[in-house]
Amino acid sequence: MSEPLDLPSLWSHEPHSLLRFTPGDLVADIDPDATPGFRGVKSDAPTLQEERNVRFAELQEMLYARSRVDDTRSVLLVLQGMDTAGKGGIVKHVVGGCNPQGVDYFNFGKPTPEELSHHFLWRIRKALPRPGHIGVFDRSHYEDVLIVRVHNLVPPAVWEPRYDEINAFERELVESGTSLVKVAMFVSLDEQKKRLAERLERPDKYWKYNPGDIDERLKWPLYQEAYQAMLDRTSTEYAPWHVVPCNRKWYSRLAVTELMIEALKQLNMSWPPPDFDVEAEKKRLKKA
């Protein structure tokens, strides 16, 4: 494992500290075009992405390997963002570099009648990553304070206490060994229009288009408010939010890769030691 790669020279600051949401930060001040901390250029991205995907995959394999012994920890990537922010691209280009054996992916759409009959965290708990796995939430329990709040799907008396419930839930997760990497992805209104237009131009992208995306788009200011409240109230010490500008897909992918690498490094892992006598096994194998 090549340690020097952990300080890729193209970053002036580590994304995990630079992108971390600090209470008081304003959603209105986020520049989705920005590339905070990155001092390279777009053409550096493919090579760097490839290199860092290798590092990410090595760490993920180590997490998985340790779970075969006795380490039950896991890492959960939570992706939230408006349509076209690039959640699917993160899944494909960042998580896609990992061995699928060790990844538990879930996409949270509109709840089914059964899901709606339960507490909002019911379906979330069922989807938590297994020990040694990287969990990916493509949308999450945060929809229950975003679209639900914006559309008044339940009264404020119901969604309002959810921020505290989410914090308590996440604290419980962290205490039981699941590190959270929460990523709020920000695309601009203009860029979203371009991306939606592209979906309408290309037959290979129709499947991603949903007429409802325009209805959500029309509620942009309400979503900005809901995102602000979400960040203010659920960016905790144990499970902070990271704000990732997403107009440049190459940047957002590099940034999320670094966030995942950092979360895995924080686990201070090493390869599990053998539970057999290596020399004795070598001798046995020679004769076998």
Residue 77: closest CA among 121, 135, 27: 135
- Which CB sits closer to ligand AMP, 119 or 194? 119
Q: Which residues contact 51 (CB under 8 A, 6 or more apart)?
A: 5, 8
Q: DSSP letter for 107, please.
A: E
Query: Least Å distance between CB 78 and ligand AMP?
Result: 13
User: Residue 111 Cβ, how far from ligand AMP at the closest point, in Å?
Assistant: 5
- Rounded least distance, CB 251 to ligand AMP, Å: 22
Measured from the CB atom, the residue of 111 and 131 that comes closer to ligand AMP is 111
In the complex, residue closest to ligand AMP by CB = 143
Query: Distance (Å, rounded) from C-alpha 134 to C-alpha 128?
Result: 10
> Footprint of Mg ion on this chain (CB under 5 A)?
83
By beta-carbon proximity to ligand AMP, the closer residue of 20 and 139 is: 139
Helix axis angle for 162-175 and 220-234, nearest 10°, is 50
- Least separation in angstroms between residue 131's CB and ligand AMP is 26
Q: Which is nearer to Mg ion, 113 or 211 (CB)?
A: 211
Distance CA 13, CA 36 (A): 8
* Footprint on this chain of ligand AMP (rule: CB under 6 A): 83, 107-111, 139, 143-144, 147-148, 153
Is residue 64 within 8 Å of residue 273, measured between CB atoms?
no
> Are 214 and 106 in contact, with CB atoms under 8 Å apart?
no
Q: Which is nearer to Mg ion, 31 or 215 (CB)?
A: 215
Q: How far apart are CA 243 and CA 32, in angstroms?
A: 10
**Residue number, 205 or 283, with CB nearest to Mg ion:** 205
Q: Tokens for 173?
A: 């997760």
Residue 181: both structure tokens together: 């990497």
Q: Strand 103-107: give its sheet, edge to edge.
A: 103-107, 134-138, 74-81, 178-186, 241-245
Smallest separation (angstroms) from ligand AMP to the CB of 19: 22
Going by C-alpha positions, the residue among 96, 88, 86 that lies closest to residue 49 is 96
Q: Least CB distance from residue 81 to ligand AMP, whole Å? A: 10
Q: Which residue is nearest to Mg ion (CB)?
A: 83
